[in-house]
């Protein structure tokens, strides 16, 4: 590899500050250090968590940064001590690492790796270590990944090697949204055959939750969104009933209780709104209802009446769908390749990395499920 061991200059979308459009810049990407891998990013999805950091979390200490955490690519070079990866391997960066050594990795009850940026740096949403510079300034790597760049450097504990034949412009979605929603249903909620479910929010994460409920054998799946354009897609993934909370003059939890003789067995909040989190809990049946927080927010407290839990409901949360990332993502890629899970149906737009601000606007206005960005270089020569 002509570039191995050298600094690579490439294009990346830099978020210089909160609430502002991303700027396409030339950045320098340093060679991988001990245990690290430099990756050519071939495709990346845009997830609401990118928008959360830019427009909702807005912690200034988390900038400047390169967003993007739902990518797939090819190994360009590896640093000293890396033996499990070689140049040319197809990989998916993992925003949640799996070191395999910490007490959380060793415990089957959780997928939270203690070496992940998320265990110490929730507020800035990145590990302060970075291999990026631009105009002489260090640029943070959002969620340890930064896929809105032609190249990135990631620790090997946060990279999954995947099948050689995997189509990178689709399996990139397994780097976040689809694994998250699907796993929240099948792992965290533990949806059971014949159960009644409700999914709040029908972006790609919610649609993947619907797919998880369906694959787990749910008999009825309520798809809830304030944007009725989302209902058609939800049907494709297995939703059976469709509710727009704005169309009723009473709380949607009451509507669900009437339609289901007391409430749903499982509800999943895939919006990132603390009011919706409360509603999703209130929509569950007493005695055994389980409600899962999937939407990401850390700016407001949430609340509920204690009787909700006293009456036997369970309220829990899910990061990356509860999947142990390095072990599970290669298997999810195979599940896609054998038809067990869908990915193509989530993709509504494909564009170049240069159009990243258009993709962000599409998500803001609710006019997409997932947009896939392809760095121009590879769009022209590789795909």
Count residues near ligand NAD (CB under 6 A): 33
In the window 6-35, what residues touch ligand NAD (CB under 6 A)? none
Contacting ligand NAD (CB under 6 A), which of 366, 376, 377, 382?
366
What's the burial of 164, exposed, middle or buried (CB within 10 Å: 0-12/13-18/19+)? exposed
Using rule CB under 6 A, residue 49 touches ligand NAD: yes
Q: Which does 203 bind (CB under 5 to 8 A by kind): ligand NAD, Zn ion, none?
A: ligand NAD
**How far is the C-alpha of 311 from the C-alpha of 333, rounded, in Å?**
40
Provide Rg for the chain, Cα atoms: 20
Question: What is the footprint of ligand NAD within residues 165-194 (CB under 6 A)?
Answer: 176-177, 180
Q: Which is nearer to Zn ion, 263 or 272 (CB)?
A: 272
Our CB check for ligand NAD shows the closer of 8 and 160 to be: 160
Name the token pair of 261: 């003789």
Window 219 to 278, contacts with ligand NAD (CB under 6 A): 224-227, 230, 245, 270-273, 276
How open is the CA angle 28-31-32, to the nearest 5 degrees?
125
Q: Using alpha carbons only, give the angle 271, 272, 273 rounded to the nearest 5 degrees.
A: 95
Which listed residue (363, 372, 373, 374) binds ligand NAD by CB under 6 A? Answer: 363
Q: Verify binding: residue 49, Zn ion, rule CB under 5 A.
A: yes
204 binds ligand NAD per the rule CB under 6 A: yes
Interaction between residue 202 and ligand NAD (CB under 6 A): yes
Nearer to ligand NAD, 79 or 238 (CB): 238
Are 130 and 69 contacting, i.e. CB atoms less than 8 angstroms apart? no
Residue 100's contacts (CB-CB under 8 Å, 6 or more residues apart) are 106, 157, 326
Q: Which residue has the tokens 């989190």?
A: 277
CA 8 to chain centre: 27
- Residue 295 contact, options ligand NAD, Zn ion, none, Cβ 5-8 Å cut-off depending on partner type: ligand NAD
- Enumerate the H helices of 227-369 as residue ranges: 231-236, 252-260, 274-282, 307-310, 325-337, 356-365
CB atoms within 10 A of CB 5: 11
**Residue in the block written with tokens 């990518």:** 71
- Residue least distant from ligand NAD (Cβ): 203
CB of 352 to ligand NAD, least distance (A): 20
The binder of 98, among ligand NAD, Zn ion, none, by C-beta within 5 to 8 A per type, is none
Tokens of 342: 């869908």
Closest among 188, 141, 162 to 292, alpha carbons compared = 188
Look at strands 137-142 and 126-134 and give their pairing: antiparallel
- Residue of 15, 78, 176, 293 interacting with Zn ion (CB under 5 A): 176
Kindly state whether residue 315 participates in binding ligand NAD, applying the rule CB under 6 A. no
366 binds, among Zn ion, ligand NAD, none (CB under 5 to 8 A by kind): ligand NAD
Give contact residues for ligand NAD (rule: CB under 6 A).
Answer: 47-49, 52, 176-177, 180, 200-206, 224-227, 230, 245, 270-273, 276, 294-296, 318-320, 363, 366
Give contact residues for Zn ion (rule: CB under 5 A).
Answer: 47, 49, 176
């Amino acid at each position: 590899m002509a570039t191995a061991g050298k600094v690579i200059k490439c294009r990346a979308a830099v978020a210089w500050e909160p609430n502002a459009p991303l700027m396409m810049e030339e950045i320098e990407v340093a060679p991988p250090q001990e245990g690290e891998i430099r990756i050519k990013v071939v495709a990346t999805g845009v997830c609401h968590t990118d928008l959360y950091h830019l427009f909702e979390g807005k912690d200034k200490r988390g900038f400047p940064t390169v967003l993007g955490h739902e990518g797939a690519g090819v190994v360009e070079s590896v640093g000293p001590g890396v033996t499990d990866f070689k140049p040319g391997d197809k990989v998916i960066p993992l925003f949640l690492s799996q070191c395999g050594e910490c007490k959380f990795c060793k415990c089957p009850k959780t997928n939270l790796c203690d070496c992940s940026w998320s265990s110490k740096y929730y507020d800035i949403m990145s590990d302060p270590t970075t291999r990026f510079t631009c105009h002489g300034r260090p640029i943070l790597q959002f969620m340890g990944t930064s896929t809105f760049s032609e190249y990135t450097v990631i620790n090997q504990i946060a990279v999954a090697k995947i099948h050689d034949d995997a189509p990178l412009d689709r399996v990139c979605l397994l780097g976040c949204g689809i694994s998250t929603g699907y796993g929240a249903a099948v792992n965290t909620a533990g949806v059971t055959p014949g159960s009644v479910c409700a999914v709040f929010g029908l972006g790609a994460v919610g649609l993947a939750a619907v797919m998880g409920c369906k694959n787990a054998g749910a008999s009825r799946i309520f798809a809830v969104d304030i944007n009725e354009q989302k209902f058609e897609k939800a049907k494709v993934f297995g939703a059976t009933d469709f509710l727009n909370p704005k169309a009723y003059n009473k709380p949607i939890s009451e509507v669900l209780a009437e339609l289901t003789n007391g409430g749903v067995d499982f509800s999943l909040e895939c919006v990132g709104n603390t009011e919706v989190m409360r509603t999703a809990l209130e929509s569950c049946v007493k005695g055994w209802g389980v409600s899962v927080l999937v939407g990401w927010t850390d700016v407001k407290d949430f609340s509920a009446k204690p009787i909700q839990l006293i009456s036997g409901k369970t309220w829990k949360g899910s990061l990356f769908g509860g999947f142990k990332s390095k072990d599970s993502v290669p298997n999810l890629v195979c599940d896609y390749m054998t038809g067990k899970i869908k990915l193509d149906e989530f993709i509504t737009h494909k564009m170049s990395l240069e159009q990243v601000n258009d993709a962000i606007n599409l998500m803001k206005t609710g006019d997409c499920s997932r947009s896939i960005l392809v760095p121009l270089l590879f769009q022209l020569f590789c795909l």
